[in-house]
Structures are given as structure tokens and as C-alpha cells.
Structure 1
């Protein structure tokens, strides 16, 4: 019967044109197929139910079942995840996938469980780079006196500070206006987010320094997970894995299209020499010398082949 269908409520902050939203729609379709209609997703995009942090809090309260958040926000609830936001940690995208889909990534997904948050997998959010209004950030010295919007992430704030800028946490929904009004001088994000948010209308310089490969995390509330039968958990896990593989394909295309589109709109896209940036954040890693857990994780990640 229709009313026997288990409906999982999933909210996120992204536009419906974003690859993550499209992949979630796919996950809902797959969940319906695998469960033969016994389970389905109801999706609330575009911050309808709040910011990423607010959605996580709704999961903890039991008012929402699933969400997607950046690792940068998730680290507030699963502290070891902050390792994934360390600048220039991954050699390239393939290296990041090896880590995320392997034992280290899986261990980190379980980190939030004591806060009632269980990670199901990682969507590709590409690499984050700086974009600015007045001048390009081609080397760390160009960040001096610039207010750069960052997520509510201690790691992101530390990184921008280490590179010489002034980190300014502002919610994603308020950023366009903040850039327009000069509350901040720039921000940092991946190409599709830069494009879909229309921030390129205000910021005409995009410097692909690729300082972090910061994935998105698909999260389910432990209260919702624990209420499911083994079979239901299996259906959801399989649907999420199909969704993640699909999103990563879409992402690669979206990234390419986004770069082309912003260039057409008059944005100067610059590929800088990364070595001054890498050198400048060496102190960032020194700060973790006393933290044996973080040090071990960093070494494990760097040695993943």
C-alpha cells in the first residue's frame, strides 16, 4: 500500500542544477527501484530547511533524516574530518578518491556517530581556489589585507590566515550580497559553485591554486539509520553508492563547463605557480606536530598509493 512507503527527508543547500542535487534525485530513483517502492526520498534543495550547519542540527534533533554538507562544516561535529581540509594534502583528485573510498575515508565517515551523524559516502566537490573582485591572488602576498569569505570551518580560517588573508565566515546564501557590498573582497570555492552562484558577476579574477580537495559528505541521522532493517540499510547504501558514482561523472563535466562559462563572461582564469602557496602553509602542518592522531592520519593519507 502507498502509505506503507518509508519516506526519508533529505535537505541540502545547493541549487537544483547542481550535480549533487541531480545525483540525489538519482539516489531516490534507485532507492525506489531497489526497494520495489518500499522506500523513497523527499528532497528539499536550496537551503529550504536551513544552512548546512542547521541541517546537521535538524538531523541531531530527529527532525530531518539526511543531508549533504561540506567536510569543512562536518569537522565541527566530527573533529578528525578536519584532516581532509588541510591545504595541499592530496597530490591530485585521483589520490583524494583513493583515500576517501579506502579505509581512511570509511573510518572518518563513522567519526560523527557519537554526535548522531553517520556518513554514507563522499560526493566530489573538486578543488577550491580563490576568486576576488579587485585583483587576482597569484601568490600569497596578494592576499594581504583581503577579507576572504570562508565556511564555518576552523581549518579553512587557519589556512587563509596562514596564507596572509583575513578569513571571514559568511553563510553561502549571503555571500553574493556581501561581495557586492564589499563586506568581503573575495572567496574560495570550486568552479561549479563559483559559476552557479553567479559570483563571477562580481568577481572577475579566478586563480586556480587548488588549495584544498574538500569533498561533500552524504550524512544520515543515526536515529533514522538505526530504525531501518538490515535490508533497508542495504538498499540505501547501494542507492547512495550508485548516486556517488553518477555525481562524480557529472561533476567532471560541470567543472569543465563552469570554467568555459566564466571565461566567456569575462573572468580572468589564472593558473599560478603553487609552490609559494605550499611553502606558506608549511607552518600550518607544524602546528599539528604535537597531535599524534592528526600526524598519523596525515602520514597515512600521504602514503596512500
Structure 2
């Protein structure tokens, strides 16, 4: 009798523990390298709210901004080993893990902002997004990151010739380095977190990025010329490690993807406002904004297009993007 009571007690304990496990909230840890005032971070906050509401409190997001857990590359590596769940990276960094994303680094590939959205939301965008899964990195969506342009400390960039002899910071991206080289500059890969100091100390003469990043990083305090040649459109990518994704139930995956998709719409709205504000504020701070003749820059990068003729995958994607309405 006593033995039976002990067995029953043990079974009750196991059941209670099991119920406790089932009732636990599943926390998704996500890290990124941007300021908390950036549209990406604000979109993530909304993503977290929507996920908690959609899942009835069974899932929530824990956000680590401002490179708290490392650079974009380091965060991707943490995803691969399962030490972090999600991150946001530029496709320029992601191309080192998902080769098809190199296509985004080809300069002047998109006609305008709407064309880029049409591509990202199409089957072509989805094909590129899925390329990282073979490397344990599942792309969930693209966030808008606008167009990238050059900013410099001491010399305005009116034509490609003005880049000659200048050391320009780029991401760890082969296509970005090829582009700067084709335009006559010297490409210097430096992590985002080290760039302000590198500009101050003269390690590099300038960099290239979108208006909100230029503004929120306070790089305008050092660089007083911003040349809007808008050479590349490099979206951000929300990525989840496949180790984390595969541990989620199908319902949890659906909740997360739905919340991510909703946050994309919100982030694009935030981005448009942030871009306009950034240009206004840096101009107020004494930055000279230059709108050069883009055709001069386009003519200098034709060699990059030619270079992909021997790469059937990128060449095919490039033509699909160009042909997208």
C-alpha cells in the first residue's frame, strides 16, 4: 500500500513538472548591432508585442541591441551553434554565409525603391532568402535599409575620380570591396562598432551607408560630406538559426513568421520617415549633401556585371531582378 502511494506520488510530481514545462513561456533571443532609436529596433519591439499577443503569452522576444552580443558576423556564428536564436544582419554580411545574396551587392541593380520591394516580395526574393538554410541560417524576412551612399571627412565626392586615393570603409563583403575598387577607391573592411574611432583617427577617409545609419551613428560629426549616389540597395535580413527553428512546433513557427511579416510592413513605414529625418538633421549639423550624376558612377561599375557572366547562379538572379516589374 505504502509502495503504491509512493508510486502515485512520483507520478503526480512528474505530471506537475510536465505541466509546468508546457506552461512555460518560450523566449526567443534576438540580437542586432543598431541603436535603440533605429527603425529596425523599433520594428523588433513591435514584433515582440505582436508575437506575445498572437501566441497568447506562450512566446516572447528578448532583444539585445547595439552589438551587446557581438558584431553581425559573430551573431550569425552564434546562431549556427545554437547560442543565439535570431539576429538582424545586412545582406552584405550574410553573403558570406548565403552566396546568392551576393547579387544584392551589384551596384545600381534596382531602378528605384518600389522595384526593390517588388523583388524582395517576389519568388526571386524568397529564393535568395532561403539560401542560408544549408548553413544553418534560415532567413525569415527582409527589412528595408534604403540605399547606400558615400560620406567623407575632408573631400566631397562629386564624381568617381574623387574617390581615387581614398580609404573607404566597407562591410566584410567581396562585392562591396569590388565596387569601391571599380570606382577608384581603396576598400577597407572595418566592423561597424569600430568605425567612428577609425574615422576620427584617419584609419579611413570615409565610408558608405544609408542616411539613418549615418545619422544615428553620429558619423556626421566627423564626416561633413554626404554624396547621394545611392550605389547599392542592401536590405537587412531577419535570420533565425535552424537549430532554434526546428525546436519550434509548427504552430509556434507560424506565430513567429506571421509576427515577422507584420513587422516588415511597420518597419518600411518607419524607415521612410527615418530617412527623411536623417537627411534634415545631418544638414542642420553642417553636412554638405551632394546629389551627383549617378550615370558617371554607373559607367564605372560595368566590369562588375561582366565579372558575373561566368557565375550562372548570380548571373541568372541578376537578370531576374532586372526583369522584375
Query: SS of the residue aligned with 2:36?
Result: coil
Q: 2: distance between equivalents of 1:282 and 1:263?
A: 32
Instruction: Tell me, yes or no, if structure 1 residue 58 matches structure 2 residue 99.
Output: no
Corresponding residue for 1:269? 289
Aligned residues: 305
Q: How far did 1:293 drift?
A: 1.5
Aligned ranges for residues 27-46 of structure 1 at < 5 Å? 27-46=47-66
TM-score, with structure 2 as normaliser: 0.93
Find 2:308's aligned residue among 288, 298, 303.
288
Query: SS of the residue aligned with 2:261?
Result: helix
1:174-193 C-alpha deviation (Å, 9 max, x unpaired) = 10010001000000000000
Q: How far did 1:295 drift?
A: 1.3
Query: SS of the residue aligned with 2:60?
Result: strand
Query: SS of the residue aligned with 2:141?
Result: strand
Instruction: Tell me, yes or no, if structure 1 residue 191 matches structure 2 residue 234.
Output: no
Find 2:150's aligned residue among 87, 109, 130.
130
Q: How far did 1:113 drift?
A: 0.5
Instruction: Tell me, yes or no, if structure 1 residue 151 matches structure 2 residue 171.
Output: yes
Q: 1: distance between equivalents of 2:149 and 2:197?
A: 20
Find 2:261's aligned residue among 227, 241, 251.
241
Q: How far did 1:42 drift?
A: 0.5
Find 1:26's aligned residue among 46, 50, 54.
46
Instruction: Tell me, yes or no, if structure 1 residue 178 matches structure 2 residue 198.
Output: yes
Find 1:219's aligned residue among 207, 232, 239.
239
Runs of 4+ in structure 1 displaced over 3 angstroms? none
1:19-59 C-alpha deviation (Å, 9 max, x unpaired) = 00000000000000100000000000000000000000000
Q: How far did 1:85 drift?
A: 1.2
- Contact kept? 2:102, 2:314, Cα under 8 Å: no
Find 1:256's aligned residue among 272, 276, 283.
276
**Pair member with larger Rg:** 2
Q: 2: distance between equivalents of 1:246 and 1:262?
A: 24
TM-score, with structure 1 as normaliser: 0.99
Q: 2: distance between equivalents of 1:75 and 1:114?
A: 13
Q: Considering only aligned residues, what root-mean-square deviation do their CA atoms show, in Å?
A: 0.9
Query: SS of the residue aligned with 1:110?
Result: helix
Corresponding residue for 2:5? none
